[in-house]
Amino acid sequence: MHGYATSGLERWLDRLRMRSDLTDADVDTLRKLPFETREVSSNRDFVRMGEQTTHACLVVTGLVGRFGQTASGQRQITALAIPGDMVDLHSVVVPKASSALQALTATTILRVSHAALQEASEGSDTIARAFWRDCVADAMILAEWVQSVGRRDARGRLSHLLCELALRNGAIGNDPRAFPMAATQLQLADTTGLTSVHVNRTMRRLHADKVVDVVERQVRIHDWDALASAGDFNPNYLHLSPAVLDPLIERLKAG
């Protein structure tokens, strides 16, 4: 997206700045955050539930899920993090993990210490506000998921999720009509509160209806209007500025 974006931090900074005004000094501070890079292979927890964490994790490439688990072993994904997302920025203020983080595919993360993040936030009101706001944005996605899982049928849930991922991918510079999505149908099931069998049948139907497609770990949206209407999708909750949102919708409709 930007020529200088060699470090994975840059994409995160871009995202932060989409939501919050940061001063040049702020950006400078954040660019200088120390981190260590880590490769996580598919289906591996890199934060376990209950663990006392000391670092937050920024996704550079790949896909990360936050997992809850029921006593009977049923799994539920409560958040998906794509590149540019700091999966657990919240851990700076609540370090004890109340759910596990797992890579859904081979993933590169940057670990940034809570101490450094806290120092940055205490050194600048605008950074503090940006971090707070980012956590609130995550909460709004969660609220939307509650609604989706609570009140939409299988087709609606999957459509809604794919709409969300399209815009979130678009916001980080991917093509909103065709973007990487490494989750398996089982993982999609754990995200939407369905069974992998039912996800399979529903995706198959969406494909047959020429609405969306997942081929080779890539989502391809063929009919945005149909998808958005099936998912009853209203992008407000993502709080993207018109400058970001409008061109994305335009591209999606052009599809």
Interface with a copy of itself (CB under 8 A): 50, 66, 68, 70-72, 74-76, 78-79, 90, 93-94, 96, 98-99, 121-122, 125, 128-129, 131-133, 135-140, 142-147, 149-152, 192-193, 232, 236-237, 239
Six-digit token pair at 161?
């999720």
Q: Please name which of 241, 250, 104, 226 lies closest in space to residue 175, comparing C-alpha atoms.
A: 250
152, 160 Cβ separation under 8 angstroms: yes
Handedness of CA 93, 161, 216, 13 (dihedral sign): negative
List the interface residues with DNA, window 14-73 (CB under 7 A): 42-43
Closest to a copy of itself by CB, 60 or 116: 116
Six-digit token pair at 100?
């596990």
31 binds, among a copy of itself, DNA, none (CB under 5 to 8 A by kind): none
Q: Does 216 bind DNA (CB under 7 A)?
A: yes
Count of residues that interact with DNA, criterion CB under 7 A: 19
Closest to DNA by CB, 130 or 211: 211
90, 135 Cβ separation under 8 angstroms: yes
52/3 Cα distance (integer angstroms): 37
Find the part of the chain contacting DNA (CB under 7 A) among 60-68, 82-90, 116-124, 187-195: 187-195
Closest to DNA by CB, 29 or 185: 185
Degrees to nearest 5, angle at CA 250 with 19 and 200: 90
Among 17, 155, 220, 251, binds DNA (CB under 7 A): 155
Six-digit token pair at 157?
């849930």
Q: Please name which of 235, 108, 130 lies closest in space to residue 176, comparing C-alpha atoms.
A: 235
Q: Applying CB under 7 A, which residues contact DNA? A: 42-43, 153-155, 184-186, 193-198, 200-201, 203-204, 216
